[in-house]
Chain A
Amino acid sequence: MSEVRLQIDGKEVRAEEGATILETARAAGIEIPTLCLHEALEPFGGCRLCVVEVEAGGWSRLVVSCVYTVAEGLVVRTRNKKIDRTRKMLLELLLAHAPDSPPLQELAAEYGADRDRFGQETSFCVHCGLCVRYCAEVKGLHAVGFIDRGIRKEISFLPEIAAKECRDCMECFPLCPTSYLQAAFVLVEAFTSR
């Protein structure tokens, strides 16, 4: 694998080809906020909070740093007005689902996001996919999955699998940035146990 050189926040850094901007920045001691990233899982690019600005050939645009791979000569900025504004908006949209989520509140304080900007959504799930991906990628159980799409997308336990596997595991519960996962599980349990 060859090495590429790029610039992040004015700092010259080197990275392996194929590395993401996010891991390269972190290795250089530059922090980028994330919600849907987990070290044991493939990057998902779901929450978009890790947006950064890249500049190449005179053009700049926002990209999702946890899935965007580095390239020779790339100029990356991880914080500026445009990025902050974008993260603030993203946070406000997420807070409409989960206003009491601790990780969201922490970021909201930093970016000045207003938890009441948008009306409260009915579902607490922020679709980070941590539960679904953890169950699939780490446990190989697929006891919980996504259903539907767009604004109706939800997570859903598969009762036949959940009834057998979940009680002895529950490893996904602490990953959920909201309380939705546990609520969904308790519901499935109520329906399947007698």
Chain B
Amino acid sequence: MNTTIADLAGVDRIIAEHGGRADALIQVLLDVQAEISWLPADALARIAERLDVPPALVQHITTFYKAFSLVPKGRHRVHVCMGTACHVRGALRILDTVEELTGLAPGETDPDLKFSLETVNCLGCCALGPVIEIDGKTHGNVSLARTEDVLKSYE
């Protein structure tokens, strides 16, 4: 998967929205990623050129912040909560199950771009633990069996 010309037009639009200013670099990167879910090399090259920022700096910023992804993300973003409350309620075993079912370790995406797996440190709904969140939807009190059902419900 690569950015298309249409995407680069999108990149140009976002750059223009921020006035093409170098100090808007992080905001531009965030907006581009919000639209195409990751930051492809050609988009980064375009941003560096248009904002007149050295590519080395763009590389530093995009690898510094965990929020940026330089690899494609899956259609579904799975977040397994590893916070204290979820941890004591068996989050590790939930994570094991998710890893086994998806074949992914945290931070990875499968080649079919179906799932991206991440762990998070607290989703803020500890009473529901253990919690997994998929595409922003929270699944609380998941058992190992429920976890499997939930994952299978995504195409």
Contact = CB atoms under 8 A, between A and B. Distances in A.
A154 B54 CA distance: 17
A160 B42 CA distance: 13
Contacts of A186: none
Report the interface size class on chain B.
under 10
Contacts of A161: 55-56
Contacts of B55: 142, 145, 158, 160-161
A148 interface: yes
A118 interface: no
Contacts of A160: 55
A149 B61 CA distance: 10
Contacts, number: 31
A interface bracket (residues with beta carbon within 8 Å of B): 10 to 19
A144 interface: yes
B64 interface: yes
A115 to B, nearest CB: 30
Contact of B59 (A136, A149, A156): A156
Interface in A142-158: 142-149, 156, 158
B56 A144 contact: yes
A134 to B, nearest CB: 13
B69 to A, nearest CB: 14
Contacts of A149: 63-64
B59 A147 contact: yes
A158 B64 contact: no
Contacts of A146: 60, 64
B54 A136 contact: yes
Contacts of B60: 145-147
Nearest to A144: B56
Interface of A: 132, 136, 142-149, 156, 158, 160-161
9 tightest A-B contacts by CB? A145-B56, A142-B54, A142-B56, A147-B63, A148-B63, A146-B60, A149-B64, A145-B60, A145-B59
Interface of B: 54-57, 59-60, 63-64
Given A146-B60, A146-B64, 6 more contacts: A132-B56, A142-B55, A143-B56, A148-B63, A149-B63, A158-B56
